[in-house]
Structure 1
Amino acid sequence: MFLSIQEIKKNKLRYSLICLVIIMIAYLIFILTALANGLSNANRQAIDSWNAEKIVLNSDANGLLDQSTITKQQAKQYPTNKRSDITQMSANVQKLNDGNKVGSQIIGLNKNQFIYEGLKITSGRTFKNDYEVVVDDSLISQDHYRLGEKVKFSRNGHQFKIVGTVKNNQLNVAPVIYASAKNVQSEKFGKNVRAMISAIIYRNDPKKTVSGTQVMGMEDFIQDIPGYSAQNSTFEFMIVFLLLITLVVISIFLYVLTMQKIPYFAVMKVQGVSNFYLAMNVISNAIILAVGGVAISALLTLLTAISMPTSVPMTFDPALMVFVSIMIILMSIIGALIPMRTVTKIDPATAMGGI
């Protein structure tokens, strides 16, 4: 380690450029990881907040909530214990005096069931009367809605009053708006078909499947959200590819530097310095560069997190960032192993003869 530090001090520009490349790659990996995590959460936050185990959908819905319809007769055949019926509707919410619209997910709830009872209100109160709604707080902070304001979901629909907010409740990267089941049924199906619901949510396993419906685990249901799996796979591929780029970059730079130092390593071998010590010098260089690069990129990521507007779906998970940092350092160490073979095979007589 001492030799590595002295070498880096003597060749500041050379090693600074290598460290800069690591900083840029690590920073890009951190940002992509945060973006992947944020988009993933924005797809499933509301579902996770329900703390449910199973969901019942129409068997023809292909696992999609917005295509599912369950009749009153089908719903009656399922057990009522630890159950919540929901009615889902995708709609554009808009203020009465403003033409701007915000895509949202409307979820109708029954007030005597567990999802309603589990709503964690961050401001205001939960809905108690007809045509009152509780909204995800992103609708307040990002889209400038406010408590007490009246909104509509369609041009000729009813007016709804915002009475409370909940935190981290998005679905399909859209804010969730909770209202009473009968109000959402009226908006979606019309007054004559209030018996229709979209899905039944269970905190346990209903242990039966009624004809015309399917029972899915919540994680399987989340994986079927349009674009969710493809999006996560894309980001994972990009992150893995960047880690491999880190491996290649470190290997190339250290190999070139090792080739340039062969005469000096030959002299050290003549003086009795072991191959192990010289090899550890190469690895130490990689560790110092990687740790320094990761530390600086982590600081840049922290500044980015502080300055990033809330409208950008990025979630900085410290545990995930630590894991990514360890992987970057590990890739750097593996990259340093490649030029080690060159170090161990240096022939002092041949190398010094070329000085």
Structure 2
Amino acid sequence: MFLAWKELIYSKLKFSLIIGVLVLIGYLLFLISGLSNGLMNMNREAIDTWGGDAIVMTEESNQNLAQSVMDSDEITNKFKEVAPIKNTAVIASTDDRKQNALLFGIDTDTFIAPKVSEGQAFNEDFEVVADDTLKEKGFKVGDTLDLAGTDDNLKITGFTVGAKYNAAPILYANNHTVDRLTNDRMKDKVNAFVVKDPDFKDVDLNSDLQVVDTESFIKKLPGYTEQKLTLDFMSYFLFAISAFIIGIFLYVITIQKAPIYGLLKAQGLSNGFLAKSVLYQTLILSVIAVVISLGLTLLTAHFLPPVVPIIFKWQLIALYAATLIITALLGGLFSIRSIQKVDPLKTIG
């Protein structure tokens, strides 16, 4: 460790370049992680807030909520707790702003009823509780929302936290509001039932219905799995790139220092001692780079506008940081073979 540290202090510029490259890789990796979590959360936020174990839908809907339509009394008393939902897409606007949203019709006495963070819950037809991110776009309690394609209006009575479905903000209303806006097409119908029952798999349903656990339903949301896999693969490639880059840097530095290693061997230092020195250097460089990149990531997140979805899961960040350090050490292993090949006799002679 002493030899590794002394060399780092002596050749500051050379090793600063390695740290700089690793900082950029770690910075990008942590940002991608935060943005990935933010994007995924926008798709599943409302579903997680509901806290259900499963969702009952029609078999032919292919787990698409909008395509599932069934009678409102289809599964009466078959599960411990059920919450019927019906939904329709709307374009809501005021005088100076417009927003695509999903209108969800629910029963206020069920477990999926939104917790109001500002204002009050809806009590009448055409009153809604909206996702609180709409506040950032200028909407406020008391606003009257004009709906495209209809003469009806909605009134925002309150806001709730965590009400996005498939990246779209939700407007919660009573069932009669949805019935009216769909010209009674959904009267006595629902799109699905959210189920809270750990034993939901043991319940027998009609052949035209299916019960899907919450996590499987989320994975079938349009674009959810594709987005997650794309961002995950980007992270994996960054790990590979970091190992490749630090391997090249250390290999070149090792080749340049071949005469020095030969002299140290002639003085009695073993290959193992010199190899440990290289690995210690790599460890110090990667730890410094990870700390700096994490600091830059947090600083960047602080100044990002609220519309940018970024969420840090610290367990995942710690895993990525440890993996980045390990891949850097693996890259450092490439130069150890070069140390073993150095012949002290040729170096002295």
TM range (shorter): over 0.9
Out of 129, 140, 144, the position equivalent to 1:134 is 129
SS of 2:190 mapped into structure 1: coil
Deviations 1:25-56 (A, max 9, x none): 11111111111111000000000001111111
Opposite residue 269 of structure 1, the aligned amino acid is: K
**For 1:210 and 1:310, how far apart are their aligned partners in 2?**
45
How far did 1:80 drift?
5.9
Gaps of 5+ in 2: none
1:197-346 equivalences in 2 (<5 Å): 197-204=190-197, 205=200, 207-346=203-342
**For 1:268 and 1:292, how far apart are their aligned partners in 2?**
27
Distance 1:193 1:233, change over 3 A: closer
SS of 2:155 mapped into structure 1: strand
How far did 1:157 drift?
4.1
Deviations 1:178-230 (A, max 9, x none): 11112112212x13641111111101117122232211111111011011101
State the partner residue of 1:48: 48
1:150 and 2:144 correspond: yes
In the alignment, is the contact (CA less than 8 A) between 1:78 and 1:210 conserved in 2?
no
In the alignment, is the contact (CA less than 8 A) between 1:78 and 1:208 conserved in 2?
no
Distance 1:321 1:276, change over 3 A: same
Opposite residue 245 of structure 2, the aligned amino acid is: V
State the partner residue of 1:88: 87
What TM-score do the two structures reach when normalised by structure 1?
0.93
**For 2:242 and 2:75, how far apart are their aligned partners in 1?**
58
| Deviates most, 202-211 or 177-186 | 202-211
In the alignment, is the contact (CA less than 8 A) between 1:29 and 1:239 conserved in 2?
yes
In the alignment, is the contact (CA less than 8 A) between 2:178 and 2:186 conserved in 1?
no
Distance 1:193 1:327, change over 3 A: closer
State the partner residue of 1:191: 184
**For 2:118 and 2:35, how far apart are their aligned partners in 1?**
27
SS of 2:104 mapped into structure 1: strand
CA RMSD of aligned residues (A): 1.6
Gaps of 5+ in 1: none
How far did 1:137 drift?
0.6
How far did 1:268 drift?
0.8
**For 2:347 and 2:181, how far apart are their aligned partners in 1?**
83
What TM-score do the two structures reach when normalised by structure 2?
0.95
SS of 1:338 mapped into structure 2: helix
In the alignment, is the contact (CA less than 8 A) between 2:66 and 2:191 conserved in 1?
yes
Opposite residue 243 of structure 2, the aligned amino acid is: L
Deviations 1:53-83 (A, max 9, x none): 111112111111121111246x255626310
How many residues are aligned here?
Answer: 346
**For 2:336 and 2:140, how far apart are their aligned partners in 1?**
63
**For 2:91 and 2:153, how far apart are their aligned partners in 1?**
13
**For 1:212 and 1:282, how far apart are their aligned partners in 2?**
65
Out of 116, 127, 131, the position equivalent to 1:121 is 116
